[in-house]
Structure 1
Amino acid sequence: MWTSLLTTVRRLQQKLARARGKRTARREQQTAWAQWFLLIGPENPTTPWIPDPARLQPILPPPDRFWADPFLWRRDGRWWLFVEEYPRARAIGQISVLPLGDDLQPRGEAQTVLAEDRHLSYPFLFDFGGDLFMVPESAQSRCVDLYQCERFPDRWVRRHSLLTNIEAADATLFAHAGRWWLMCAAHQGRIRMNESLYAFHADSPLSRHWIPHAGNPIVRDFSRGRPAGRILPDAHGRLVRPSQDCVPHYGYGLGLNRIDHLTPEVYREQRIWSGSGPALGGWRGLHHLDRHAGVLVLDAQRLIDDEGYRIAFT
């Protein structure tokens, strides 16, 4: 009873804080553009799982677009950074790639690799059976689609849908205890995208038949539900799940959660770190985290004018 009451009170507090946050955001964006950009650099070897944005170098997009949801990949000795690219003129997300040098800075312009007639974001990458796959977010289509790379990095072909009839975002796949898992946010009835974490499992990441977790949604909390990047093991082999903190507004901060128990019937996790954009760099928000081969990349949000100059905010 008390647990249920505390949960209800916390959810009400979060909703009130988000209502205030939305009003503030509307005022801020009357004269400014909220632009996502990238922060990248080597992991801190002593605390690889604790992001320190002050140690990372920015990669700034042109002022007419943003870059978000970065996923790193290394191939043939070169770095590639796949992102959601959102041109203001098009007002719809597409998937683009940035080639990076050994200094982790761009070597050339962003190249569009996947564009549809609907919004695309969160270009989750994984390899399986010697092939490279992508599962981009396309919540508007009410399905989670699987794409296979036919020519790296710019030719991707849709294979099939992993999930259908679900408004899902930020699908994140990983293997655990002999099963493949897909975790995502979803809008289901009164459950909102920014507060939810759903889990599904199958015998293969290419499966067309994913079984819902018995406890779905396994997390319902605006401060830690929605996924924020790849789920990877820490130094002790324990899975760590990045999550978004959407209080007081979407993309305000990040959290890291250690998965302590995951079966088809039970899910338990524990928060091990959290931080906000204002606290970790004076940014309006932090939104996503990826680690790959010793390199860490995040995205952060700033307010800029139409010329690309940063505007202070409170």
Structure 2
Amino acid sequence: MALRKDIWRPAIVMATAEAIVARGSIEGFPLMWLPPMGSFQFLADPFGLWRDGRLYVFVETYDYRVRIGAIEVLVYDADFRLVDRQPVLNEPWHLSYPLVFEAEGETWMLPEAHRSNRLTLYRAVDFPARWEPAHVIELDHVAVDATPVFHDGRWWLFYTSADREPDKMSALHVAYADRLAGPWTPHPMNPVRVDVASARPGGMPLVIDGRIVLPVQDCSRTYGGAIRPLTMTVLTTERFEAEVGDAMVPPASSAPFVEGFHTLSAAGPVTLVDMKRTELSLHGLSIEAIREIKKLPPRRRASVRG
């Protein structure tokens, strides 16, 4: 039970993701923070869509007292004033990384949900508030932070494996398909990359100079310590080669959120990011202790309480 807790906070950066990748930093670009949360709660993993002049920002919302993430949407007008906020997706298992995108005439969400032991693609029934499970994507492993992109007439899906705890951070896999619903074919070189500093997806893929650039997390120092651009120099159904760029870390101006940076999501003229601080508190330890006690059988629970 850790004394130190990650507390994430998303922000809207007033620059394109391409401009940020070219600079190698969000330093110097204006940004606007999303609203703060209460004690031992946070928002994270922002993804966004523009529709009718409004920016819809989908995020994970998390409370350490509950420890099951859910998905919310925050709606901003053209002047970036918050005009609405509501929950949009809850399941019995943890949800995060709500990657939203438009394709094949529909609006989709592919959230991280590896604790359900499957990868479920949701379709918007009444955007942005109502979503229905549309397809289960079958892969070679239970996927973590699965990230799709359509490029050169084919769908590509990047993800890490939930098989072992280290693999979640360090073993990048690829699959491909002709249609979003599949069937999906795992790449024969899987895992195509094993590197704790540049494997786990961390945001919306870009296409720059005809090549896919995937934001990936650098977890070598801490979970979500930095973002690196991973450029696919060779990507076919048989081969994979990539080059990784320098780490992008939170600027000093984002203090106290300077201890991690693990999402970089393009949203038209702006980019959505999140950065973290860590919170050291005995209260945090007591929250986890209470949770563990509640898991015990009634007799054991009574003896622990004395």
TM-score normalised by the shorter chain: which range applies?
0.7 to 0.9
Match of 1:228 in 2: 202
Counterparts of 1:304 and 1:45 in 2: how far apart (Å)?
A: 29
- 1:35 equivalent to 2:7? Answer yes
- Contact in 1 for aligned 2:20/2:26 (Cα 8 Å): no
Counterparts of 2:202 and 2:18 in 1: how far apart (Å)?
A: 23
1:72-83 superposed matches below 5 A? 72-83=48-59
**AA in 2 matched with 1:242:** P
Stretches of structure 2 lacking an aligned partner (at least 5 in a row): 282-306
TM-score (norm 2): 0.83
CA RMSD of aligned residues (A): 2.3
1:1-314 superposed matches below 5 A? 26=2, 29=4, 33-43=5-15, 47-49=19-21, 50=23, 51-55=25-29, 56-64=31-39, 65-108=41-84, 110-163=85-138, 166-188=141-163, 192-207=167-182, 209-234=183-208, 236-277=209-250, 281-282=254-255, 283-304=258-279
The offset of 1:168, in angstroms, is: 1.4
The offset of 1:54, in angstroms, is: 4.9
- Contact in 1 for aligned 2:124/2:131 (Cα 8 Å): yes
Number of residue-to-residue matches in the alignment:
275
TM-score (norm 1): 0.81
Match of 1:11 in 2: none
Counterparts of 2:241 and 2:79 in 1: how far apart (Å)?
A: 39
- Contact in 2 for aligned 1:179/1:202 (Cα 8 Å): yes
Residues 54 and 263 (structure 1), Cα distance of their counterparts in 2 relative to 1, 3 Å cut: same
Counterparts of 1:287 and 1:227 in 2: how far apart (Å)?
A: 9
Counterparts of 1:100 and 1:145 in 2: how far apart (Å)?
A: 27
| Counterpart secondary structure, 1:70 | strand
- Contact in 1 for aligned 2:264/2:271 (Cα 8 Å): yes
- Contact in 2 for aligned 1:142/1:166 (Cα 8 Å): no
Counterparts of 1:87 and 1:285 in 2: how far apart (Å)?
A: 19
Counterparts of 2:251 and 2:220 in 1: how far apart (Å)?
A: 13
- Contact in 1 for aligned 2:139/2:184 (Cα 8 Å): no
> Percentage identity across aligned positions?
32
- Contact in 1 for aligned 2:17/2:265 (Cα 8 Å): no
Stretches of structure 1 lacking an aligned partner (at least 5 in a row): 1-24, 307-314
